[in-house]
Amino acid sequence: MDEKELLERVAEDEVQFISLQFTDIMGTVKSVSIPVHRLEEALNRGVWFDGSSIEGFARIFEADMFLKPDPDSYTVLPWSQPERRRARIICDVYGTDGNPFKGDPRSVLKRAVDRAAEMGMHFNCGPEVEFFLFDNGSGITEPVPHDVAGYFDFSPRDRAQVVRSDIVKALMSMKVDVEASHHEVAIGQHEIDFEYANAVTSADNVMTVKYTVKAVAQSHNLMATFMPKPLFGVNGSGMHVHQSLQDGSGNNLFYNPDGQFRLSESARQFVAGQLKHAPALAAIVAPTVNSYKRLVPGYEAPVYICWAQINRSALIRIPRYSPGREQSTRVELRCPDPSCNPYLAFAVMLEAGMDGIRNKLEVPDPVSDDVYEYSPSKLVEEGIETLPGTLGDALEELGKDDVIRGALGEHVYEVFHRAKSTEWDEYRVQVSQWERQRYLEIL
């Protein structure tokens, strides 16, 4: 949509305020609000802001930055009241030199996408976002799931059915094409799958889904959380990502009718690259202390660095091919969780896969057993390594991996690594209830 069309749409929709949004390095949505009559100027000249106040963006002396609205991302926020009708536009962040700001996660992703495009490869992905709904105000210490249903349950009286329908309606009105939504395995847990799209649109969509789910849940007096493992002993919330590469004419480069699982050589190399870089990749796609409470055996989340066709314990799964749907040939990475910054996550996933293609890496044999059942010696025998067990371990791997660091760029790497190391250190020195229960009396 060009600027003229956008201004017409805004008038038609009777919008009064515009939220100009971008995402910081940690994955939080930031927004500056302008009254609608300032939009034309914002489109022509951008909107200046002080970047030094945004976590990890800039130092005081290089603080001036400006936002360049991306007209295609315009959408009305369906929960805004007609008398204060509000729309959002996602922006790219620029520095005073007129270049994209190196600390803008959206520009990090665009850089990775452009690098692949130079080789004639276009990255598409489709995330599956899982989340929990808890009773509002049920408390941080004992969150209460809002229902007692389970995987794919259909219960006509389920409140979640109503909430999920409202979420899907809101997302559809915001141009996020939802493919499916269903109850997940744990009580109070749900999943929303949306359209497969180019990586930048998909990352924009993840951000939209997250705040829309929260806003709609709130209107039902429920609290939505994307925390990866809110409850001990039940499944956590992942954000599996289906991925493929297309050529310039839209052909799926991952499809080969004669390949194993109908995968092409490029697809195998892409998988090999992601397996190779998985330990460092984890720091970005599973970036919280809590992420590593999810990546444990027994809850359908991956732990071992291997690939397979149907096995849900593997890190990369190849969804079954359905005849006539060669365009949908794809590989599913299962370690990401919804606490990640989707722009950075998709950027490192792409660069890890492309490293496999550039260096023609070979995939190991796929694994068909349930790897959760393997003994430590069997894992060694099969050469299967494990994902980092903690955020601290993942950060150490990140520091050693030039491909993943290169994908982030030095600015984002430094800021991310520093902030996350602090988070890890803060957690590491806590004394938990588990420790007191285990040791206090017997020691």
Catalytic residue (one of 88, 164, 183, 240)? 240
Q: Is 338 in the site for ligand GLU (CB under 6 A)?
A: no
Q: Give the chain's end-to-end CA distance (angstroms, integer).
A: 68
Catalytic residue (one of 70, 104, 128, 166)? 128
Name the residue whose CB lies closest to Mg ion.
Answer: 191
- Find the shortest distance in angstroms from Cβ 299 to ligand GLU: 6
Question: Which one of 68, 102, 262, 312 is in contact with ligand GLU (CB under 6 A)?
Answer: 312
Catalytic residue (one of 50, 402, 410, 426)? 50
358 near 151, Cβ under 8 Å?
no
State how far the Cα of 390 lies from the Cα of 392, in Å rounded to an integer.
5
The one segment of 39-47, 158-166, 235-243, 262-270 that binds ligand GLU by CB under 6 A: 235-243
Q: Is 238 in the site for ligand GLU (CB under 6 A)?
A: yes
Nearer Cβ to Mg ion, position 110 or 293? 293
Catalytic residue (one of 70, 332, 355, 401)? 332
State how far the Cα of 199 lies from the Cα of 113, in Å rounded to an integer.
8
Both tokens assigned to 427: 């957690």
- Find the shortest distance in angstroms from Cβ 441 to ligand GLU: 35
Known catalytic residue at 332: yes
| Residue 302, number of CB atoms within 10 A of its CB | 30
Known catalytic residue at 417: no
- Find the shortest distance in angstroms from Cβ 192 to Mg ion: 10
Q: Is 236 in the site for ligand GLU (CB under 6 A)?
A: yes
Known catalytic residue at 240: yes
State how far the Cα of 230 lies from the Cα of 225, in Å rounded to an integer.
8
Phi, psi of 85 (to 5 degrees): -50, 130
Nearer Cβ to ligand GLU, position 261 or 299? 299
Partner in contact with 355, chosen from Mg ion, ligand GLU, none, beta carbon below 5 to 8 Å by kind: none
- Find the shortest distance in angstroms from Cβ 378 to ligand GLU: 23
Question: Which one of 24, 130, 397, 401 is in contact with ligand GLU (CB under 6 A)?
Answer: 130
Partner in contact with 294, chosen from Mg ion, ligand GLU, none, beta carbon below 5 to 8 Å by kind: ligand GLU
Known catalytic residue at 130: yes
Nearer Cβ to Mg ion, position 315 or 395? 315
The one segment of 44-52, 192-200, 232-240, 411-419 that binds ligand GLU by CB under 6 A: 232-240
- Find the shortest distance in angstroms from Cβ 151 to Mg ion: 9
Return the residues of window 283-302 that contact ligand GLU according to CB under 6 A.
294, 300-301
- Find the shortest distance in angstroms from Cβ 398 to ligand GLU: 21
Name the residue whose CB lies closest to ligand GLU.
Answer: 238
Partner in contact with 300, chosen from Mg ion, ligand GLU, none, beta carbon below 5 to 8 Å by kind: ligand GLU
Residues with catalytic annotation?
A: 50, 128, 130, 184, 191, 240, 312, 332, 334
Q: Contact residues for ligand GLU (CB under 6 A)?
A: 130, 184, 235-236, 238, 294, 300-301, 312, 334
